[in-house]
Amino acid sequence: MSKTVDAPVILSNEPGSFARSVLAERHPALIERVRGAFPYGPGQHRALDALLTESTEGVIGPLGPGAPDRDQWAEWGRGYFGRSWFDVPFLWAESYFYRKLLEAVGYFAAGPWQGIDPFRPFKQAELHTEEAEAELTALDRLALRPVGEQAQALLYGSLWGNRADLGFSMTSGGRAAAGAESPLIADDSASLWSLLPAGGPNTVCLVADNAGRELVPDLLLVDHLLRHHHAELVTLHVKPYPYYVSDAMAADVIDGLRHLKRADGVAGVVGKRLWEWIRRGRLTVRTHAFFCAPLPYADMPEDLRQEFADATVTIMKGDLNYRRLVGDQLWPPTTPFAERTAYFPGPVAALRTLKSDVIVGLDERTEASLVAAHDQRWRTSGTHALIQARR
């Protein structure tokens, strides 16, 4: 057992740090992309200007008086207002940035822009790339392989789909989205499969991350779990509103399902079957306000805790869910995953490509070889991935 009881919370004020680059470079670049994505009017552009200035040079201000969740954020941000965005926890600052960006474009305000996802054009474009097409065509070949091989390939497909993250590709130049996949730095997939024996009365919660090229492989995995009775019921949890650029919402699930349904070959068959799983109640899409909260899962509300407690296993997708699962802190990398997730109300697994500094659950030899070979960039470059699970 590691002796770790606590570790520094990640802030964004360390010069040269990844967290700082997100606030100083990624967020301004995102504001520019959003400006170009829709024919926003002068009021929205002024609000985006104000957000850019506030978040890079100013101090954290409250949400506007009409915001439905103003009190909630006032509570979550107690002690942070009036301070530099760089000096408060990175997780909080990023989450609040997305909330303020929605405020700037009028996402929650009554009027014509209410409910218009500012990231939707980017998410949709993702579905129509050559790579996305090739991934669907590959399903025809995969269907000829033994079932166990299919299962493992679909699990890895869902894992590596997490590289397709629009926020990430904005500053990495898309580098991590191409090239050969490196071996996993932790691979508990055998343990994950052992939690889901075929034919058992299993239920799975899959907490989705990105839409588009990540969500499609997630849906393919879900179909496999249901079809081969690794799970009798699957709940797919998505975000209630746009978040971290490409995070999946219910509308994105519908887009992904339609996309699959229209495809040729095996992909089209899977798409139609997924509609049928939903119709029969074997696949349910759900959301919860907590998925957009700037908090670790250790602070989840009782109703969500109960949902996860009732599942045979909860699968957390992606980097942000990982940060929230283990805590957005600089843990010693060899801190056991089981120790960091001991609070979780049931078995839990993480499928994540590494795109931020947080990491736990490495063995000493792996950590030493990573540091020797790549200095610390392996933590954030999206070239490495892991599957971690605990019963």
Q: Which residues bind ligand F1X (CB under 6 A)?
A: 22, 26, 94, 162, 165, 167-168, 209-210, 244, 318-320, 355-356
Task: CB nearer to ligand F1X: give 161 or 347.
Answer: 161
Dihedrals phi, psi of 155, to nearest 5 degrees = -65, -45
Residues with Cβ within 8 Å of residue 59, at least 6 apart in sequence: 81, 82, 83, 84, 85
Minimum distance, C-beta of residue 255 to ligand F1X, in the bound complex (Å): 17
Decide whether 312 or 321 has the Cβ nearer to ligand F1X.
321
Instruction: Supply 182's token pair.
Output: 């490196």
Nearer to ligand F1X, 26 or 100 (CB): 26
> 344 is written with which tokens?
């979780």
Q: How far apart are CB 350 and ligand F1X at their closest, in Å?
A: 11
DSSP H helical ranges for 58-172: 70-76, 90-105, 120-127, 130-142, 147-160, 166-172
Least gap, CB of 205 to ligand F1X (angstroms) = 17
CB of 251 or CB of 269, closer to ligand F1X: 251
CB nearer ligand F1X, residue 210 or residue 388: 210
- Is the CB of residue 318 less than 8 Å from the CB of residue 350? no
If DSSP codes are grouped into helix, strand and coil, which group holds residue 109?
Answer: coil
Shortest CB 209 distance to ligand F1X, Å: 5
Q: Give me the least distance between CB of 142 and ligand F1X, in Å please.
A: 24
Shortest reach from residue 275's CB to ligand F1X, in Å: 26
Minimal distance in Å, beta carbon 161 to ligand F1X?
A: 10
Contacts of 391 (CB under 8 A, 6+ apart): 191, 195, 347
User: Is residue 20 packed enough to be buried (19+ CB in 10 Å), middle (13-18) or exposed (0-12)?
Assistant: middle
Cβ-Cβ contacts under 8 Å for 35 (sequence gap 6 or more): 45, 48
Q: Which is nearer to ligand F1X, 209 or 223 (CB)?
A: 209
Quickly list DSSP for 153-212.
Answer: HHHHHHHHGGG--HHHHHHHTTGGGSSPPPPPSEE-HHHHHHHS-TTS--EEEEE--BST
| Dihedral angle of Cα 249, 253, 255, 259, to the nearest 10 degrees | 150
Cα Rg for the chain, rounded, in angstroms? 20
Rounded to a whole number of angstroms, the minimum distance from the CB of residue 294 to ligand F1X is 13
Q: Closest distance between ligand F1X and the C-beta of residue 364, in Å?
A: 25
Nearer CB in complex with ligand F1X: 29/254: 29
How far apart are alpha carbons 379 and 238 in whole angstroms? 25
Q: How far is the CB of 292 from ligand F1X (least distance, A)?
A: 13
Contact predicate 298/332, CB 8 Å: no
> Residue 285 is encoded by which pair of tokens?
């899409």
Report the residue number, 175 or 227, with the smaller CB distance to ligand F1X.
175
Tell me how far apart the alpha carbons of residues 210 and 161 are, in angstroms, rounded to a whole number.
9
Instruction: Kindly tell me which of 113 and 168 has the beta carbon lying closer to ligand F1X.
Output: 168
- Cβ–Cβ under 8 Å, residues 18 and 357: yes
Q: Closest residue (Cβ) to ligand F1X?
A: 355
Which lies closer to ligand F1X via its Cβ, residue 126 or residue 165?
165
Other residues' Cβ atoms within 10 Å of the Cβ of residue 119? 25
